[in-house]
Structure 1
Amino acid sequence: MGSLADDRRWTVRLAVGLLAGAVGLYGLHKLVTLKRRRQQQQRAGGERPSEKNPVHRVTGLKITGDAQRIAEGFLHTNSPDVLEQQHLQAVLGLLKESSDASTREQALVTLGNSAAFSANQDLLRNLDGLSIIANCLFDEVISVRVKALNVLNNLSMNIANQKELKMTPRWVEGLAVRRMQRCSCDLDRLRIWIPQILEILRTTALNSELQVASLRVLTNFSVTNNYHYMMTNYIPHFLKLLVEGTEKIKVQILKLLINLSANPDICHDLLSAQAPLSFLLLFDSCVSKEVLLRLLILVANLKENLSLLRNSVQYDYEVDSLHSVLFGNATPFSHKLTKLILYQDNEVKQQIARIITK
């Protein structure tokens, strides 16, 4: 029995060693390759090469000499950006089976790094990696959940992965049994992941890493109109975060809201949402340009779509709605806008002009 336990411990240590070594060599190989390419380009008088798929990257593990030797042969020799299927499968297995939080974090960091490349995004989906990674959203350790969201952020750059992560009820009903056999998921884990991420955003601490990570994933999903309908019930919470969050939260929320406001079908949902009392305080020259410019783009988009909306149907809005605050009769917003005309930035003035001329 003792020998068997020792063998198991040795196997786990070897797996963790391979994982750490793989990440270390992966990062080292990338740095050396990029440096070599830059030197070649400079000698040839060309420009610095741009890295493929410049999406958000997750920081890797530290490199040690032993780890580098252990990881020899772990990476695909012909393409350092793409790990072999067997290696990704091993990391996914470790993520699914390990009860150690630090090991799960290391596995997610490795997957996040590899998910920065399109070939690995497809490979991870084919290996059922999306379900395994998304299940980490239920992890009791917050740092594990943050890293899982970071991986999903990279994976959600892939349209096919977005469809998989949406996981519609029909998909759950039709493939639940087969999916449970493949990844040993509990039936209650087979839910729609986008609402789960929205719930994380709603219930987590204000301005936390978990909140920022959730917003990044949702922003990727909002680039197309396909999943906007799943977010409409959370618009009041988005507005609340906009007035209460840090500048980082404000900018990320505005990216999401701008994507929603570009969709005429969501215009009424945005305009009918209750506006926080301090919403108009954001329209001030002392607010950073990053926030102010995006605010004005949001309003300009809403006003353009409102004109289309009025041509089709007439809506009544509550007095505290976003519509009444922005476009109601004799609102303070018009005075705010008048003062901002003096703002010394052409981009800001262009968006003010969009609002006024509509």
Structure 2
Amino acid sequence: MGDDGVVPRLGNMKALLGLIAGAGASYGLYKLVRSGSKKSEISKRSIDRSSESGFESKPLSNMAIRPGSLLAKVSDMNIISGTETTRVTDTPPSDVLSKSPGSLEPRHIGMLLYLLQNTPNPSERRQVLLTLGNAAAFTVNQDLVRESGGLHVIAGFLPDPSPDVRVQTLNALNNLSMNVRNQEQLKIYVPQVLELIEMSPVNSEIQLAALRLLTNLSVTDIHQHLMKNATKLFLSLLVVSNEILQIQVLKVLVNLSSNPDMMDDIVQAQAPASLVLLFDCCTNTPVLLRLFTFIGNLRAWRPSAQVAEALRRRSDSLYCVLLDESSQLHSRLPALLSHPDSEVKAQVAKLLT
């Protein structure tokens, strides 16, 4: 095949990938409503989008396409979606560029998934995952990825040797998780995501991206039980991490503690004694406010006398550290009444009543 055929194909491919990479320029509002559940107040719980992460977002169209490389080859490949087989080069650039970013066709998603599975270059894998994550900002593409079998393909890169690839995998799964049907497939990766949090450096982008994904998976009661043994991990991370990660940990804890069925596991979890030190005027205000929400959820739980007595025998339980009459928290709250933030003072007064 001569050069005259290669140049237009590469141009088409760059235009197409540039369009898809730009699909994350804006995000729609997201609401997850659990069908048939009257008690879930999702508007009070936390959701997260990877667009808020501040991570660099470079479109694939900026990548150099070398002759003979995977990107050059894929510009002339057959994309199979369902029963339809289409050549990428059959779509003129003008038609591709005129498409709404939220109405990408199955063959475009299929092309990206093919690239992801077949490139040995970590940098290119990262860019493809970034593009898929941006495309997943739109509900139609969340469905397309699932219907193409792409959820498990993407999740397959959670253990990738490259930290950047792992981060972009988590970001893509985060956007894809803003879809109830996708969550049904993604729930099996919760243990793997928790392991990434535990094994990764504190305050790393991997921990932050993993917590964002867990925030979305915990926004309804459906999959929260998969995290019931992770309270100790979250509390330990809370006392050693920076403010950005603290907020993310608390989003998950607030979501979990909104479910009465999770409370027994939460209050029994081992908690660091230094947890009470966060209730201080020096603590970042957004962190304090989420701490108060978490405490409010915990106090709404009423153990029987027998259960409370059993919990008191474990001095390192969350119950003893934050809820029991012997907790140091009670002596720390009055000092926060002088906090400069009016909402903090209102929350403290509410807790003291």
Bigger shift: residues 335-344 or 313-322: 313-322
Q: Unpaired runs of 5+ in structure 2?
A: 31-48, 66-88
- Write out per-residue CA displacement over residues 149-193 of structure 1, whole angstroms, 9 at most, x where no aligned residue: 000010001111001112xxxxxxxxxxxxxxxxxxxxxxxxx21
Q: Which residue of 1 aligns with 2:37?
A: none
Match of 2:28 in 1: 52
Asked if the contact 1:254–1:294 (Cα under 8 Å) also holds between the matched residues in 2, the reply is yes
1:214 Cα deviation from its structure 2 partner: 0.4
Offset from partner CA, 1:300-328 (integer Å, 9 cap, x none): 110012x2x43896561111211112222
Name the stretch that deviates more: 102-111 or 151-160. Answer: 102-111
Give yes or no for contact 1:74–1:87 (8 Å, CA) kept in 2: no
Task: Label 1:282 to 1:201 Cα distance change in 2 as closer, same or farther (>3 A).
Answer: same
CA distance in 1, matches of 2:63, 2:208: 35
**Where does residue 169 of structure 2 map in the other structure?**
148
TM-score, normalised with respect to structure 2: 0.77
Give the distance between the partners of 1:139 and 1:65, measured in 2 at CA. 21
- Residues 219 and 255 in structure 2, CA contact (< 8 A), matched pair in contact too: yes
User: Distance in 2 between the 1:346 and 1:330 partners?
Assistant: 28
Task: Decide whether the 8 Å contact of 1:238 with 1:253 is kept in 2.
Answer: yes
| Match among 335, 340, 350 for residue 339 of structure 1 | 335
TM superposition shift of 1:61: 1.8
Over 3 Å counting, the alpha-carbon distance change for 1:163 and 1:18 in structure 2 is: farther
- Distance change in 2, residues 1:29/1:207 (3 Å): closer
- The C-alpha deviation readout for 1:249-287, integer Å capped at 9, x for no partner, is 100000000111111111121111122131111000111
Q: Distance in 2 between matches of 1:195 and 1:287?
A: 31
Task: Give the 3-state SS of the residue equivalent to 2:98 in structure 1.
Answer: coil
Q: CA deviation at 1:15?
A: 9.0
1:25 to 9, 13, 19: 19
Q: Which moved more, 1:82-91 or 1:250-259?
A: 82-91
Name the structure 1 match of 2:149: 128
> Alignment partner of 2:283: what SS?
coil
Q: Aligned pairs, how many?
A: 303
The letter for the 2-side match of 1:248 is I
Written as runs of structure 1 = structure 2, the 5 A alignment for 1:306-345 is 307=302, 309-310=303-304, 316-317=310-311, 318-345=314-341
Judging changes above 3 Å, is the alpha-carbon distance between structure 1 residues 157 and 14 closer, same or farther for their aligned structure 2 residues?
farther
Q: What is the rounded CA distance, in whole Å, between the counterparts of 1:342 and 1:200 in structure 2?
A: 40
Residue type of the partner of 1:56? S
The answer (yes or no) to whether the contact 2:24–2:135 under 8 Å persists in 1 is no
SS in 1 for 2:124: helix
Aligned counterparts of 1:52 and 1:150: Cα–Cα separation in 2: 16
The 1:333–1:64 alpha-carbon spacing in structure 2 relative to 1, beyond 3 Å, is closer
Matches within 5 A, 1:2-81: 20-26=14-20, 52-53=28-29, 55-57=49-51, 59-61=57-59, 72-73=93-94, 75=96, 77-81=98-102
**Contact 2:21–2:60, Cα closer than 8 Å, also in 1:** no
* 1:90 to partner: Cα distance: 0.8
TM-score, structure 1 as length reference: 0.76
Alignment of 1:83 onto 2:77:
no
2:134 is aligned to 113
Deviation at 1:120, TM superposition (A): 0.4
Shift of residue 19, structure 1, vs aligned partner: 5.8
CA distance in 2, matches of 1:109, 1:30: 9
- Whole-Å separation in 2 of the counterparts to 1:103 and 1:63: 11
How many angstroms apart in 2 are the aligned matches of 1:15 and 1:97? Answer: 19
Whole-angstrom CA distance in 2 between matches of 1:300 and 1:254: 13
Distance 1:315 1:213 in 2: 39
Residues 88-146 of structure 1 deviation map (CA, whole Å, 9 limit, x = unaligned): 10110110122111221111111011000001001110000101000011211111111
Q: Which has the higher contact order (CA 8 A, sep 6+)?
A: 2
Secondary structure of the corresponding residue to residue 110 of structure 2: helix
Structure 1 contact 222–260 (Cα < 8 Å) conserved? yes
CA contact (8 A) 1:53 1:116 kept: no
Measure, in 2, the Cα distance between the counterparts of 1:344 and 1:118: 42
Percent identical pairs in the alignment equals 40
Partner residue in 2 for 1:240: 236
Question: Runs of 5+ in structure 1 lacking a partner?
Answer: 32-49, 167-191
| Aligned positions of 1:296-307 closer than 5 A | 296-305=292-301, 307=302
**Contact 1:19/1:91, CA 8 A, preserved across alignment:** no
- Is the Cα contact below 8 Å between 1:223 and 1:259 reproduced in 2? yes
Which residue matches 2:266? 270
